[in-house]
Amino acid sequence: MKRRDLLKSMAAIPFIAGTALGSGAVSKKHKIIKPKHLLKGDTVALISPSSGIEANRIDDAIKSMEELGFKTKLGRSARKTNGFLAGTDKERLDDLHDAFADKDVKAVWCIRGGYGATRYLPQIDFKLIKKNPKILIGYSDITALLLSVHQNTGLVTFHGPAAASAFSDYTKTNAVNVLMNPAASYKINVSPDNTANETSVYKTETVTNGTARGELIGGNLSLIVAMSGTPYALKNVKRKLLFIEDVGEAPYRIDRMLTQLRQTVDLRECAGIACGIFSGCERKDENSQSLINVIKDRLGDLGVPVVYGLSFGHIRDQCTLPLGIKAELNAEAATITLLESGVS
């Protein structure tokens, strides 16, 4: 190859690498953007970015939003099914983009999680989202969107109930307070109903004592681990409060995922770690390690405050946590206090 041709080829490499990441997966630090808070009468887009859902549950989701005082606009693929997905990747991605581009829509509320959001992360138009900041909320598989959007735009996203979730009084109160009532400080306690639940995985337990402050980051453990090694992975936990939860995983699988997470990011750099309720993750075999012992073994030696059993995850009573804002974790009291509003 001629030297001139070689130089041309080398010059093209950064462009090729950049386009391989789609519209935006970058590692630079973005300025935090807070979406506007919701008001009664606002229009909320309901989308199914991952799996499909039964028609009656979509109707229930619409009813829940209306009971909160919102108008709804349903994504075009929300009622579709494509195997274990709600429509094709393009259809689901188009619904996400359309919701952010629509000036009448004030929030993008995911109807459910399931599986499939990671499939189209390289095609997300992060510039479009950053240009049209608004509330994005969901949990479980939606972690892929919450984390990638936050890290690639600076937009505060919200780990909270799906639109098809059962809106208990606890869930509703926390969502309304976080999304509609901006406050300089807001303390989130464990749900009394969760405390009263005698199932072992609902037992709140301090793993490592202490109080810590930092920016909230996190979501579903399986999704965080699944994105490891990609441009959309959890990139920075230094001085941050990491929150994690999961559902239906045997304790050894939780051990495996926490081990991978430890080897992916330096968890000793965290300010603290808050574990939600890992529903359905009880040991089924007496020879198995218990869930709480796995948590203690994998997170108890980090030298930072760690608590298990806060009210978030695949449970009826769940709080709403904004990714990107400053908060305080009190491991002994089992509380998270938002030190600023997640909305403007």
Task: Give the pLDDT confidence of 53-84 residue by residue, as tens digits.
Answer: 999 999 999 999 999 999 999 999 999 999 99
Distance CA 315, CA 162 (A): 11
Calpha distance 150→219 (Å, rounded): 12
Active site residues: 140, 245, 314
pLDDT band, residue 39 (cuts 50/70/90) = very high
Q: Give dist(CA 280, CA 174) in Å, integer.
A: 24
Structure tokens at 139: 């949990």
> Cβ-count burial of 175 within 10 angstroms (0-12 exposed, 13-18 middle, 19+ buried)?
buried
Q: Residue holding tokens 């769940």? A: 318
* Closest by CA position to 96, among listed 47, 144, 132, 159: 47
Question: Which residues, in sequence order, are CB contacts of 90 under 8 Å at separation 6+?
Answer: 120
Confidence of residue 15 (pLDDT cuts 50, 70, 90): very low
* Residues 258, 74: Cα–Cα separation, whole Å: 37
DSSP-derived secondary structure for 194-213: HHH--SGGG--EEEE--EEE
Q: What is the mean pLDDT of residues 301-313?
A: 98
- Give the whole-angstrom CA distance, residue 198 versus residue 150: 36
pLDDT in tens, 117-137: 999 999 999 999 999 999 999
pLDDT score of 316: 97
DSSP output for 177-246: HHHHS--S-EEEPPPHHHHH--SGGG--EEEE--EEEEEEEEEEHHHHHHTTTSTTS----TTEEEEEE-
Specify the amino acid at residue 218: G
Q: With beta carbons less than 8 A apart as the criterion, state whether 328 and 260 touch.
A: no
Residue 193 has pLDDT above 50, yes or no: yes
Asked whether residue 100 carries a pLDDT value surpassing 70, the answer given is yes
* Coil, helix or strand at residue 82: strand
3-state secondary structure at position 311: strand
- Please report the domains of the chain, with CATH numbers, ordered by start residue: 43-167 (3.40.50.10740), 186-338 (3.50.30.60)
